[in-house]
Amino acid sequence: MISADPRIKAAIAAHHLGSALYGPEGIGQVDIPMMMVSGDQDVVSPVVTEQIFPFIWMQQQPRYMALLQAGTHFSSKPPGEGAGDGMAGETPGTVPLLFVGANRDVGATYYKALATAS
């Protein structure tokens, strides 16, 4: 059994690797309200194997799934806070659009709204 921190009342997992890291047994032990956020064009953490399957494995209620259409792995990160913005030694703009996404500002706005409403 996973020991939970009693201060944590709910969680959001964005573009996570739930299947690869925890599997059905680990995900099934989550006992707080959870929202999973994914992008349907995420090639780093594919939506079906890494978000949809883990969402099905979760037993607790409430649970929520948000899918960003045309969203990539970095769609929920505002420009200046992630890949392609010069972090970790990257040169700004060097991460291919395939990974960053064309509508990053829109995705970040939706993600912020979801996180605030939760």
Digitized pLDDT (tens) for each residue of the chain, 118 residues in all: 455 788 999 999 888 887 888 899 999 988 899 999 999 989 888 999 999 999 999 988 999 999 988 888 888 877 666 555 545 555 555 667 777 777 777 888 888 888 886 5
Task: Determine the pLDDT at residue 89.
Answer: 52
- The residue written with tokens 């969402």 in the block is 55
pLDDT for 118: 58
Report yes or no on whether pTM surpasses 0.85: no
pLDDT at 33: 92
Cα–Cα distances in angstroms (integers) from residue 20 to residues 6, 37, 110, in the given order: 26, 16, 26
